[in-house]
Structure 1
């Protein structure tokens, strides 16, 4: 298809998503529902057919899921991933197996054949990585107990995509047992080689970027982020592994570097655009006419899937020692059918194990569950509390209260000479101090003093939000450039209206501007220099015999 035709369709889908998503957001609902509606209206069966390049857009949109997992990988370094523990991963494996078994039994009761019943279970066993993690990230709940459970289960499900795809091929009767075993072994070897390669490449890239001054070469971090995230997704796809899983591994390997915060902010706009395309493309898969004609069947299947997956996950995590509140919240978050149902269903159709009606039913149930997830995921903690109270279970445990690491007490933005002088009283005071700095020399200096330091451009609100500056008690802005300092101050005031803010003003003329913008204290360079000069001049005048002395290093101001 011609490039400009695809571009027109992308712009049309994004424009419709903007308007419809804005309407839903205006009424307090998730814009994801609007994106799905926009796709259903513009493309696919039963629509007005305003978009003809559905498959091309769908292929591009898959990169949005990869970038979402890449940015989440930046949040979860290897050390933080270990803190997830074995329970979420074990719960994910148990959930996939148990859901397939129960779905198989249910499909057999409704008359499906043995192979098709297994295929049906495989398609509905997985949840939606894009929907769940997008909503949890927006609500800041990824690090809560149910958020950590969801992340572990979704990662396990992404790993399960490969064996489930092989299962669909085997059910279709293609390939001997030896060929299947060879394919599995080949995938495992390629996956191991991919992880080792990503580890080496990311370490080399970080060492290379570490020699650069980022405030002079900001475009390099953007290019580095895109090449790493999308390159890992491509390499994973070539290896026959989930692209989203490969992108997560790449992000996780970079998560312990000082560049993580800035990279996450740099890819955020591209991630938003591609994810919007993903949800629009998902909407185009559905046939609204088929859904209306078979509404009673779709409604019954969706209800059975949501309730069934909720109960399965609830029981699994309860057996693993999780509280009722957390187990129920995790189950409700993961109670939808994921986007990989489309992929597995396509493989099943090609291999002849899945009929057109079964595929249409699973796709329709997936889309409807997407819609419902926009309402169910935000309500998950409340439902967990309600069930815990109803069953007499303890509503909150020690594990629940330690959901997140403590926020910083003080943040210093800019760690040049002024920032370092301002930080002197904070050394060895037992305070949690975060430093945001673009120059890696300043970051190393802050780390030597025992402070937590991140490389980032604080004029981007994403950087401030990721560093949790809205939870600080005090923020010191030492950036010398007036416009940059004003932008940072406005971001801080918008997201943290009650935090105490101290601003450095290079010129006296800008002092009133900072005070009007919301600074509590403004310290001017000119005033400080003038007072220092006046003090030394007064000291010289009060000496009994003021004589000329050659300047020494000690007398330099």
Structure 2
């Protein structure tokens, strides 16, 4: 009987997510806010709370985070990461300063303490690669001159995640200074070792994993990723960082083939992850934090626009391209929820989850709008009107007395 209820509940969730995804695609929207709303509806205090399938959904959510970071790692080679780090690290520093500090300051002003401040700093810092990539494709800007600047900022944020996630994991677990430092040292050592191995022996690793049979390739890559993620989590590093490093180590045809095979699985389990996060957020807890979330969203939308403008200016992009760069970076999404989820699972601050949910909902809707309208609006405000009459210069006659 229990298994039948589980199947009915989980099947209903998957069917509902599919319909929500189709609805979002019809209106060219990101499905993330709809998935979060679905989680709110099925969670405690929602319209129809789940019972039997919650544990199963929890496991699916963990796999969703792992696949999100794996696919992110597959996008880049180790050489690309090193090159981007050398060329664009000033943009990454400006990005972190302008966008992490407002989140940290907001947590301290709300009286949540230093641990919550570090968590909320990450929530406001990291842009949504998935939403931004979709928006750029919808607007036909993939080939624009400013697009590499946007991607470089996103790559630097992804690199920062490899360092940031172990720190957050140690902090929310209540680890002391020594344990936290050891965790960070292990994470940095593992990241450095993987990057070195990928640069030197990437072809050998890819050849070992490679297979002409899609089924075997899928099983080997997925099994290796979950295994490494589990080992990383056992070492108190982060399962997500382990998956990210596996993605970096794979390159060439193997990375392309794995990306194609794993994309549907990633979309499925990522949707389950957003639902799971919503399940653990009481809808009644959102209204009290709605105003702080809105204020924080407006402030960090402005700081992201400033970040993109500065980065594009440094790269020699024209003013219009600078505004497009800033507007495109505004959206937050999957990784903001991943970071907040770590704190929610550890019980760090009860209001952090609702605030992060409201914050992401606002910016995942606002992001596509800023990407589309920031540049024309800025151009209109900064360009003088052509039909404004220029004041005529009146020359007063010189009197004979003054001559």
- Asked if residue 298 in structure 1 is aligned to residue 302 in structure 2, the reply is no
Equivalent pair of 1:65/1:244 in contact (CA under 8 Å): yes
Distance 1:138 1:312, change over 3 A: closer
Corresponding residue number in structure 1 for 2:122: 126
1:161 paired residue number: 165
Instruction: Show the counterpart of 1:59.
Output: 59
- The structure having more radius of gyration, on CA atoms, is 1
Q: CA 1:242/1:88 → structure 2, altered by over 3 Å: closer, same or farther?
A: farther
Number of paired residues? 367
Q: Write out aligned runs for 1:191-202 (5 A).
A: 191-192=191-192
Choose the corresponding residue for 2:227, options 216, 228, 231: 231
Distance in 2, matches of 1:142 and 1:234, equals 36
2: distance between equivalents of 1:44 and 1:133?
30
SS of 1:46's equivalent in the other structure is coil
Match of 1:79 in 2: 79
Contact 1:342 1:363 (8 Å CA) reproduced: yes
CA drift at 1:90: 4.9
Relative to structure 1, the CA distance from residue 45 to residue 131 in structure 2 (aligned partners, 3 Å threshold; closer, same or farther) is farther
TM-aligned CA distance change 1:335 to 1:52, over 3 Å: closer
Distance 2:300 2:234 in 1: 32
Instruction: Measure the CA separation in 2 of the matches of 1:89 and 1:44.
Output: 43
Residue in structure 2 matched with residue 252 of structure 1 by the alignment: 248
Alignment-derived partner of residue 16 in structure 2: 16
Q: Which position in structure 2 is the counterpart of 1:478?
A: none
Contact 2:65/2:270 (<8 A) preserved: yes
1:332 partner SS: coil
Quick one: structure 1 residues 81 and 178, their matched pair in 2 at CA, closer, same or farther if it must change by over 3 Å? Answer: closer
Conservation of the 8 A alpha-carbon contact between 2:2 and 2:52: no
Aligned counterparts of 1:331 and 1:149: Cα–Cα separation in 2? 9
TM-score w.r.t. structure 1 length? 0.56
Is 1:340 matched with 2:339?
yes
CA shift at 1:276, angstroms? 1.7
Does residue 311 of the first structure (1) align with residue 302 of the second (2)?
yes
Q: Which has the higher contact order (CA 8 A, sep 6+)?
A: 2
Q: Does 1:70 align with 2:65?
A: no
What are the ranges of 5 or more consecutive residues in structure 1 without an aligned counterpart?
Answer: 394-557
Residues 229 and 247 in structure 1, CA contact (< 8 A), matched pair in contact too: yes
Task: State the match for 1:443 in structure 2.
Answer: none
With 39-48 and 10-19 compared, the bigger mean Cα shift is at 39-48
Q: 1:151 aligns with which of 155, 159, 162?
A: 155
Higher mean Cα deviation, 123-132 or 324-333?
123-132
Once residues 204 and 118 of structure 2 are traced to their aligned partners in structure 1, the CA distance between those partners, rounded to angstroms, is 39
Residue in 1 aligned with 2:371? 381
Q: Look up the match of 2:327.
A: 329
* TM-score in terms of structure 2 length: 0.75
Pick closer, same or farther for the CA change 1:19–1:332 going to 2, 3 Å. same
Q: Residues 70 and 251 of structure 1 are in contact (CA less than 8 Å); yes or no, is this contact kept in structure 2?
A: yes
State the match for 1:458 in structure 2. Answer: none
Consecutive unaligned residues of structure 2, counting only runs of 5 or more, are 384-403
- Structure with bigger helix share is 2
1:289 equivalent among 284, 289, 303? 284
Per residue, is there more strand in 1 or in 2?
Answer: 1
CA separation of 1:190/1:325 partners in 2, compared to 1, >3 Å: closer, same or farther?
A: same
Once superposed, what is the RMSD of the aligned Cα atoms? 3.7
Distance in 2 (alpha carbons) for counterparts of 1:266 and 1:381: 30
CA shift for structure 1 position 160: 0.7
Residue 48 of structure 1 aligns to a residue whose secondary structure is coil
**1:407-449 CA-partner distances (Å, limit 9, x unpaired):** xxxxxxxxxxxxxxxxxxxxxxxxxxxxxxxxxxxxxxxxxxx
